[in-house]
Amino acid sequence: MSPEFPLSQLPTPPAAAVRHLTVDEESAGQRLDNFLIRELKGVPKTHIYRIIRSGEVRRNKGRVGADDRVQAGDVLRIPPIRTSERAEEKQLNPAPARQFPVVFEDEAFLAIDKPAGVAVHGGSGVSFGVIEQMRQARPDARLLELVHRLDRETSGLLLIAKKKSALKALQDQFRERETGKTYLALVKGAWPAKLKVLDQPLHKYLLADGERRVKVTTKEDPDGMHSVSLVKVAARIPAPSGLAALLPEGLSLLEVTIKTGRTHQIRVHLSNAGHPIAGDDKYGDFELNRQLARAGLKRMFLHAWRLRLNHPVTNASIEFMSELPAELKAWAQPGPGKRD
């Protein structure tokens, strides 16, 4: 049997000890199962539901159902629990602490500037990501949760909630498409100025090796997800020295605002239109990528540039912006020669 582990906010109990957890005000109104899944990180969901059904979890000394709503001040009896092997491995080998550039921070949430090459969370072959590293760097933080995601190779604005109420309010805005998310992308060729709206459903599938991919599908596809991207040409960039044959029309710097947040949405929409993102190793022009890398572009040119939303507490409209990182900035300026 796997060893026991304590909740982070409780003193370390003896092995196989019963623990008691008091529900805070921000958690009031949550379903019991959702509350426990969030609090008992690393415990398999099947185990959580089993201890609820068996009556081992008690609320104020009485039985409680998985769909019952917890209230502030409720005292939950938590029986001895087991963790998954993956959670145990994380405890034995925690992520290295790391801080990231902060664009904005208050008591409710923060916006950071994520560098390219860093996953937002562990999983899919990555042992840790931004959120695990920040939790290690801020051990006194009561809560740090991702509000949304960015691809590993995408840089730019990423929101992290510091309160459960802020997490819910911000995620509701993203879900209801009330935010404005604009990216900067450098693409192959001359993007048609009149092509401003890409309204094409996307279909997720797996390659033979299990890797996830996305493609444009038809509106009749029952598995197609409604996806809309708005495109504006920000600049025309001439081909770098030596690449005129591969780039007879040069490159285009685009501002892409997504109205839906689908997996790989921008990458697939732009590639399907015949203008793949420079450096995209999944949906791009691979020979062009190889030549661009030799000329100095070592990563995908996709950057989460601007984000508009309503503050989760005050409801005031706010906007954040993230400058292009140095390795992309030179490629966004018209000019001859090799970029370094």
Q: Please list the residues that pair with 29 across neighbouring strands.
A: none
* Torsion over CA: 292, 306, 107, 28 (sign): negative
Give Cα separations from 10 to 14, 21, 316 (angstroms).
12, 8, 36
Please tell me the distance from the alpha carbon of residue 136 to that of residue 192, in angstroms, as a whole number.
46
SS3 content of the chain, % helix, strand, coil (to 5): 20, 25, 50
Provide long-range contacts, Cβ within 8 A and 24+ apart, for 322-325: 322/103, 322/113, 322/155, 322/156, 322/157, 324/184, 325/115, 325/116, 325/155
Is 106 one of the catalytic residues? Answer: no
Instruction: Determine contact, residues 124/82, Cβ cutoff 8 Å.
Output: no
**Selected catalytic residue, list 74, 113, 151, 285:** 151
Sign (positive or negative) of CA dihedral 262, 263, 267, 272: negative
Tokens of 242: 């030596």
Helices 32-39, 45-53: crossing angle, 10 deg rounding: 130
Return the structure tokens found at 267. Answer: 């990458």
Query: Tokens 């805005």 belong to which residue?
Result: 173
Q: Which residues are catalytic?
A: 151
